[in-house]
Structure 1
Amino acid sequence: MDIFKCKYLKHEKEEIMGFCLNQKCQNETQYCYKCLNATHSEHFNDCVRFTEIMEIMNESMLVYNQFEIQLKELSKTTKEFI
């Protein structure tokens, strides 16, 4: 994954670490280390790092794949029954 840089002028050399998911937050959703401390400190728990997002995506894909296998098996069983 390419490295994304912060949009704030004083932080432009900082890597983006993740996204703020707080719906009431008026700041940029993507954050760097400096943003996390300065603008998202009141809702720190709503800030999700890229690594966590990737883990959630991978887990979701596993669940989806398992569901797809079960659906195919159910379809096959249904066709055999009919």
Structure 2
Amino acid sequence: MRSAMTVHRHVKLFKNGRNQAVRIPREFELPGEDAIMHRDGDRLIIEIAPPKSLLAVLAGLSSLDEDFPQIDDPVPDAVDL
């Protein structure tokens, strides 16, 4: 079984307002705009955030300000079962 080769890279820390930030090199770039960070002893772990559920995406949408046309809704014919 092959183990993944660990890649190390020296990175720059800097202040962004009252927060400390880190420049992430291109080869470590994460997809999307969100990530999860947690501490494991002296290590900071940054992971890809799981995709949002469809319900979370729909809840974040703004409501539509449109008037929809009236739709005829005739009474259905009786069915003999």
Same fold judged by TM-score > 0.5? no
TM-score by length of 2: 0.25
Q: Which has the higher contact order (CA 8 A, sep 6+)?
A: 1
Question: Greater strand share, 1 or 2?
Answer: 2
TM-score by length of 1: 0.25
State the structure with more CA Rg. Answer: 2
Q: Going by fraction, where is helix more abundant, 1 or 2?
A: 1
